[in-house]
Amino acid sequence: MQAPRALFVGLTAVLASGVSGCGSDANPGQDGTEGKDAADERGTDTADFGTDPFGVADAGLDSGSDATADAGPPDVPAIDYGPDGWAAFYGGRCPLDSWVGSFEMKRLLNYDGTEVQAQVRGWIFSIPQPQAVFFPAAQDGACTVMESENPECDPGCNTTSETCSIDDECVPAPEPLSAGDVVLSGLTIPVTAPHKGASGYFFTEFDGAEPFAAGADIELAAKGGDVPAFKLQGEGVAPIEPVGDYWTISKGQPVTFEWKPADGPGLILAKIDFSQHADLPVYVECVTEDVGSVTVSAALVDKVLSYGLKPSTAAIKLEIRRFTTDSALVGPGCIDFMVSSVALTGKIELVL
């Protein structure tokens, strides 16, 4: 593989031992050095919070209708946020080599812009998932080309207990872990989500209502189970409104994506997934301030085309999201929490 072995972390997170934060005492911003608020004292004996691809398969999952608000908040020690009060991180995410869990409160706008869905998703595994590890292959401005390998273990691994790592070695397969009931506060309705085994955490009972208000202080508190109790924070972000619905990607040409900027918290993440069209899993990720546009340079376009992209009638997936994120080192690794407004939008055509 040509890509360097240094893992892309978006905005740098520094891991500490034990149940501790993934970053420094100050909130990292987009450049990893400073952020919205700097809290002098951020943690408790339970969790000292530091800096921070998402997803559990939706198909066939129980929506969590048996989860009620009657349970109340789990018994997790309160956090002293220090003199600056609420301290959600803007942009820090877990390093992928220690990323074992993820929770997301997502407001999703459908392609046609006519329907809003809201869902809480989450999962925790015993070890990082090898298939989730991507490496930076090229970077230009706010955008990075990320690539992964297709692991090949010879002889093959035991399909029931092992998986093939990025080093082409058979390693124990990740096992799903529970953090007990998870309670989210600061939403338009109270949410309690129980752990559902291999399906992780899943809650969709918002009944068509907006899940959060822009600027709302949102907290996720896990009672504890296979991993210790922890809390993570975020802020409600304004709905994302993309501009345009059709783009072309061709050799030597940059491509620009636009949205309507909004006041309030959050960064913007634009992700273009080429994995089903390329010889290797690859995507482009751009993380930027909420300024209304981001451009993938001609150099990065040419880098993506070098992966042997093939024409296809299937649309290439484009996601644009406004988000805040927080993370902590808990139990087996780093767990993050993202609050986001996401738009799955438009069509990207390859001109080869």
**Which of 149, 150, 147 is CA-nearest to residue 136?**
147
Calpha distance 220→157 (Å, rounded)? 37
Query: Measured over all CA atoms, what is the biggest interatomic distance in the chain, rounded to whole angstroms?
Result: 58
Residues in contact with 46: Cβ distance below 8 Å, sequence separation at least 6, in sequence order: 19, 76, 77, 228, 229, 230, 231
**Which of 54, 33, 122, 101 is CA-nearest to residue 271?**
54
Q: What is the pLDDT of residue 340?
A: 95
Q: Encode pLDDT of 239-254 as tens digits.
A: 999 998 888 889 999 9
What is the pLDDT averaged over residues 62-91?
A: 42
pLDDT at 301 over 70: yes
Task: Return the higher-pLDDT residue of 329 and 131.
Answer: 329
What are the residue ranges spanned by the domains of the chain? 69-351
Calpha distance 336→290 (Å, rounded)? 21
Calpha distance 97→129 (Å, rounded)? 8
Q: Encode pLDDT of 255-282 as tens digits.
A: 999 999 998 888 999 999 887 777 778 8
Q: How confident is the model at residue 85 (pLDDT cuts 50, 70, 90)?
A: very low
Q: Is the whole model's pTM more than 0.75, yes or no?
A: no
Calpha distance 296→316 (Å, rounded)? 15
**What is the b/e burial string over 314-339, where b = at least 16 CB atoms within 10 angstroms of the residue's CB?**
eebbbbbbbbbbbbbbbbbbbbbbbb
Indicate the residue type of 317.
K
Residues in contact with 166: Cβ distance below 8 Å, sequence separation at least 6, in sequence order: 130, 133, 148, 149, 151
Q: How confident is the model at residue 28 (pLDDT cuts 50, 70, 90)?
A: very low
**Which of 326, 322, 324 is CA-nearest to residue 51?**
326
The string of DSSP codes covering 274-303 is -GGGSSS-EEEEEEE-SSSEEEE-HHHHHH
